[in-house]
Amino acid sequence: MLKSEVARNYPFLRPAFSRRGFVTFKFAEGVKPDEGFSLEAVFARTWGFCFGRVPASDWQVAANEVWAKVANIPVGWIHVWPRDTSPPGRSEPEKPWPAEISQIQQVLMEHAPTKAIPPNVSQESTPCPPGVWVLDCVVVEPTEWWIGIHRAGSLESRYPGGRFPIVLPEYAVSRAYLKIEEALRWSGFKIPANARWAELGSAPGGASQALLDRGYEVLGVDPAEMHPLVLSHPKFTHLRRRTPQAPRRAFRKVRWLAADINAAPNYTLDAVESIVTYPQVNIRGMILTLKLPNWQLAENIPEYMERIRSWGYNIVKARHLWNNRQEVCVAALMKPFRRKPSHS
């Protein structure tokens, strides 16, 4: 998916070395990246400028070679992570990385020409400051590191491998809790503390739990039963209907919408469109999960995003989250927010 996406959007990039979970590209001959170049790709969790491979049978020797490769870069942080060897859509983001990852980071710190990272800071749980040059060390094989750099900007770029440190609470009723929590962090949307949400396809209630844990009010729309833990929450309301049968007046005070419907993308988008375009409904922002029954549908993601823009959302972005399976997340925002004129 990533290679075809890059070929479509960046024709001046050529595929180079790759393994499952790790892909490199070369600029075409005569092409140099503009200052501020940024790779925008749905299926790239993180990216950087590559300095090549470092043999790592001896970590001490490898660390010295790493720093020699980036000698002219004012590195201020270090990210080390293993390539994701899971099949597409089968990552295990809750699973801790192998112990040697933190050990490699420590060796790199010890050999750094300057203090590249504050001591006693966990790189997996502490985001690096924005604007800092980050040394990337991807452990492609146990004795093979690939080295790169990137400047920290977006929140995901401030964590190794673009993976947020999210833990599934013991009381969570489904993994949907992780998906919406990761999506909210990645979106970067500033959502008011008292926001009212509607969630389409809410059963059994994992995503609703995450929204409720943030203090939001939630209207769950789903014909299936919700978990009793969710139903008993004072800020949760269950509308036991399919979205097409849900009365539109129920959404009049809702400003934020989430959808994770187990159906093809166009069905989900039809359901969402029927709500957000309704005259008396004013949805400011959305977090949508679009299922991909087959991976070929990934080619249609630009069309799905353009359709969402046609509803008045001028900030629309998509990402295959660490917690996504065979699906992608789309975040959409109307900025500035324009309410529809009221009708008497």
Q: Dump pLDDT digits (tens) for 169-186.
A: 999 999 999 999 999 999
Report residue 116: phi and psi, to 5°: -80, -15
Cβ-proximal residues to 236 (8 Å cutoff; 6+ apart), any chain: 205, 208, 212, 217, 218, 220, 226, 230
Model pLDDT for residues 278-309, shown as the tens digit of each residue = 999 999 999 999 999 999 999 999 999 999 99
Regarding whether 236 and 149 lie in a shared domain, the answer is no
Q: Is residue 340 part of a domain?
A: no
Regarding whether 131 and 205 lie in a shared domain, the answer is no
**Quick check: pTM over 0.85?**
yes
Domain count, the chain: 2
pLDDT number for residue 344: 44
How confident is residue 116, by pLDDT bands cut at 50, 70 and 90? low
Residue that wins the pLDDT comparison between 63 and 113: 63
Mean pLDDT, rounded, for 208-216:
98
Cβ-proximal residues to 14 (8 Å cutoff; 6+ apart), any chain: 25, 26, 27, 28
Regarding whether 308 and 187 lie in a shared domain, the answer is yes
Using the Cα atoms of residue 126, residue 130, residue 136 and residue 139 in order, give the sign of their dihedral: positive
116 close to 78: Cβ distance less than 8 angstroms: yes
Regarding whether 220 and 246 lie in a shared domain, the answer is yes
Regarding whether 189 and 323 lie in a shared domain, the answer is yes
Q: Is residue 217 part of a domain?
A: yes
The residue behind tokens 């789903």 is 222
Structural domain boundaries enclosing 12: 2-162
**Using CB atoms within 10 A of its CB, is residue 228 exposed (0-12), middle (13-18) or buried (19+)?**
exposed
Q: Which of 127, 162, 197 is the endpoint of a domain?
A: 162
Regarding whether 294 and 155 lie in a shared domain, the answer is no
Model pLDDT for residues 264-286, shown as the tens digit of each residue = 999 999 999 999 999 999 999 99
pLDDT number for residue 220: 97
The size of the chain, in residues, is 344
Q: Is residue 167 part of a domain?
A: no
Q: Is the peptide bond before 341 cis (omega within 30 degrees of 0)?
A: no
Question: 5-38 burial by CB neighbour count: b if 16+ within 10 A, else e?
Answer: bbeeebeebeeeeeeebbbbbeeeeeeeeeeeee
E strands within 182-284?
A: 196-200, 217-221, 236-239, 256-259
- Across the strands, what pairs with 330? 288, 318
Residue percentage of the chain with pLDDT more than 90: 84
Q: Is residue 339 part of a domain?
A: no
Model pLDDT for residues 15-65, shown as the tens digit of each residue = 999 999 999 999 998 888 777 788 999 999 999 999 999 999 999 999 999
pLDDT number for residue 37: 87
Regarding whether 325 and 289 lie in a shared domain, the answer is yes
For residue 21, the domain's CATH number is: 3.30.2130
Of 32-36, 176-180, 189-193, 210-214, the one with minimum mean pLDDT is 32-36
Q: Is residue 94 part of a domain?
A: yes
pLDDT number for residue 341: 74
Mean pLDDT, rounded, for 210-222:
97
What are the CA-CA distances from residue 305 to residues 321, 326, 339, 342 (Å)? 16, 18, 21, 28
Task: Enter the tokens of residue 90.
Answer: 């089968």
200 close to 243: Cβ distance less than 8 angstroms: yes
In terms of Cα–Cα distance, which of 198, 192, 202, 258 is closest to 230? 202
Regarding whether 234 and 110 lie in a shared domain, the answer is no
Mean pLDDT, rounded, for 231-253:
95
Regarding whether 313 and 205 lie in a shared domain, the answer is yes
Q: Is residue 290 part of a domain?
A: yes
Of 7-11, 167-171, 201-205, 239-243, the one with minimum mean pLDDT is 7-11
In terms of Cα–Cα distance, which of 169, 239, 268 is closest to 210? 169
Residue percentage of the chain with pLDDT more than 70: 97
Regarding whether 35 and 143 lie in a shared domain, the answer is yes
Q: Which of 135, 162, 189 is the endpoint of a domain?
A: 162
Work out the mean pLDDT of the chain and round it to a whole number. Answer: 93
Q: Is residue 338 part of a domain?
A: no
Q: C-alpha dihedral over 84, 87, 93, 94, to 10 degrees?
A: -120
Q: Which of 133, 162, 191 is the endpoint of a domain?
A: 162
244 close to 272: Cβ distance less than 8 angstroms: no
Regarding whether 122 and 268 lie in a shared domain, the answer is no
Is pLDDT above 90 for 136?
Answer: yes
For residue 274, the domain's CATH number is: 3.40.50.150
Q: Is residue 170 part of a domain?
A: no
Of 70-74, 113-117, 240-244, the one with minimum mean pLDDT is 113-117
Regarding whether 283 and 183 lie in a shared domain, the answer is yes
pLDDT number for residue 70: 93
| Max intra-chain CA distance, the chain | 76
